[in-house]
Amino acid sequence: MAVTRFGNSGTPMMQERGGTLLIAERGGALSQNLDFWVTGQGHRLKAVDNIKDLLMTLQHEKISVLVMDVRLPEDLGYEAISIIKGLDRKLPIIITADENNPEQESRIRQQGIFYYHVNSFGPDDLMLAISNAMVRSSQ
C-alpha cells in the first residue's frame, strides 16, 4: 500500500520511504507482529528491550518514529518521555498500553506524544498511527 500525498496543485506525490521505526518493549511480541508490515511499507524496524538501549539508539541513529510500551521506562516513569524529547523534540512517540487507565493516559498525553494506543483496540489503529507518524517525520 503506497502512501500518497497531494501537492499544492492537487496532484498526488509519492511519499518518501525508508524511515526507521524503533520499537521499545520487553519480550519482542509487538516487533515480531509488525515486522512484515513495516518492511512491506518500505521502512526498517529496530527493536530494543530496555531504556538504556533505547536512549543509546536515539543518540546514535536516525529514528523516524518511536513506539514504546508504557512499562518500559522502569524507574524513570513519565520522565522518560521528557528525556527522549530532549534528544529529539520532533520525534513522533507512540505509547502502547495493555489497559486503558485514564489517569495514566492523561499524564502521558501531557508529555506531547503523537498517539496513545491501548493494545486491546487491535493492530489497525496502531498501524495507521505509525503510518501517519512516518509521514509527519519525513516532512
Q: What is the pTM of this model?
A: 0.85
Closest among 93, 29, 42 to 67, alpha carbons compared: 93
Residue 16 pLDDT more than 60?
Answer: no
Structure confidence at residue 4 (pLDDT): 35
- pLDDT tens profile 68-82: 999 887 777 778 999
Residue 31 pLDDT more than 80?
Answer: yes
Distance CA 136, CA 2 (A): 15
The helix, strand and coil proportions of the chain, stated in percent and rounded to the nearest 5, come to 45, 20, 35
Rounded to 10 deg, the angle between the 29-40 and 123-138 helix axes is 60
Distance CA 45, CA 63 (A): 10
Pairing of strands 12-14, 4-6: antiparallel
Distance CA 27, CA 13 (A): 38
4, β-bridge pairs = 14
For residue 117, give the 3-state DSSP assignment: strand
Distance CA 79, CA 75 (A): 9
Structure confidence at residue 5 (pLDDT): 40
